[in-house]
Amino acid sequence: MVVTRFAPSPTGYLHIGGLRTALLSYLWARRNNGKFLLRIEDTDFSRNDEAAALAIVEAFKWVGLEHDGVIEYQSSRLSIYQEYAQKLLDEGKAYKCYMSKEELESLREEQIARKERAKYDNRYRDFSGEAPEGREAVIRIKAPLEGSITVHDGVKGDVIFNVEDILDDFIIARSDGTPTYNFVVAVDDALMGVTDVIRGDDHLSNTPKQIVIYNALGFPVPKFFHVPMIHNSEGKKLSKRDGATDVMMYKTMGYTPEALLNFLVRLGWSHGDQEIFSMKEMLELFDPSDINRSASVYNVEKLDWLNSHYIKNTSNDKLCELLEFHGVMLISHDKREILLDAVKERAKTLSEMATLVGEILVAPAEYDEAALKKGYKEESKAILEAFATALKGAKDLHLPSDYHHIMEAVVAELEIGFGKIGQPLRVALMGKLSGPGLDSVMAIIGVEETLKRIEALVQR
């Protein structure tokens, strides 16, 4: 059975890159009828943020990535790590090191001065004497002293690390008894039955240390898939300015979970020229072995395009639910179908859609000066008054087409171009020269409100 996991540290909110890693792990587990686990790596008590841990869970709920089993918190598993650290001590595969911070710092300075790699010199590796008085010990694992470690990576191929270049007897437990990152990751992945580890390639350098731990404890080594990072358009690491922000901010900005997940799965993975992927298609097609080796580029225009696609293809009932988050209540609006059909073709995000709804339902408090100058000419007053008269004399105006026929009739009667009535009427209704079709706007707000807005502009 394929078992994957997502294991964030609660030191900040869920980052967009983290969500991509979680999505890929989720897809691979589900495609293979396996398990997808969620583990919160919170053993670094000095950096933990309880609110951040809750935010990670909230983000998972919003995008619909359901994990299997309970959420595992490393902070509740300390006794397990201590047990395995003691096991390594008992078997002579780890040892207590009494080197002080000052001694370690002095050693590093000397090594750097000699232009050597700064590393621990294994001075307590085979120590059998009395422990120095007043010294608290850390626990170090006995790492290989020579040779190489090969990481069999499903994305990058075999990556070979020379032991002398990267390893020393690294610490697996601090002097206060708390375990270190690489130790707990290896122990947890093994005990939780994780078979496939999909994570960012910034973790690739940690992998040899984790393999040392797997081997020392007799655990099977999982399959690794190290996914290249997401870069901005300049080829640099993604920053908050570029979009590397809290996942829930994407909800605030008006993106749908479907668009965001579709966008993320395409960062570094493809299936022919296909751009739109439903969750069903992702589950059928995704294979981490097909992930590109090069970094992917974050493109907000692509995200906006995908989001507009999903908005256009979302039912109006569902859109009403989504718009409530953005302060728009349309449950009882009798013209909501016309309204939503008018704005969802124009909006890239739900927040834009909410703004467009407001611009239609609320009469303009002011008029755009450039729009007035371009759209309201000397003859506009008479044209609008003629249109208002035609509206008052008409009956049973409900659909956009009903209002369009009135406009056509006035244009024909006055022998003018459609723009002569369209531009000033748009300024009257919207306060500017952009927006949905005028016939739709009038069908939404009704005859009485249309007349009020025309009168307000004419009086101005």
Cα–Cα distances in Å, from 187 out to 191, 218, 251?
6, 11, 35
Task: List CB contacts of 447: < 8 A, sequence separation 6 or more.
Answer: 391, 392, 394, 397
Cα–Cα distances in Å, from 364 out to 220, 429, 432?
67, 7, 9
**CB contact burial 201-213 (16+ within 10 A = b; e otherwise):** bebbeebbbbbbb
Instruction: Say how far residue 237 (Cα) sits from the centre of its chain.
Output: 15
Active-site residue 240, yes or no? Answer: yes
Say how far apart CA 275 and CA 256 lie, in whole Å: 16
* Catalytic entry in 61, 240, 312, 318: 240
The token duo for 299 is 């493109």
Say how far apart CA 409 and CA 396 lie, in whole Å: 16
Cβ atoms of 375 and 449 within 8 Å: the answer is: no
State the burial class of residue 178 (Cβ atoms within 10 Å of its Cβ: 0-12, 13-18, 19+). middle
Q: Is 36 helix (H, G, I), strand (E, B) or coil?
A: strand
Q: List, by residue number, the catalytic residues.
A: 240
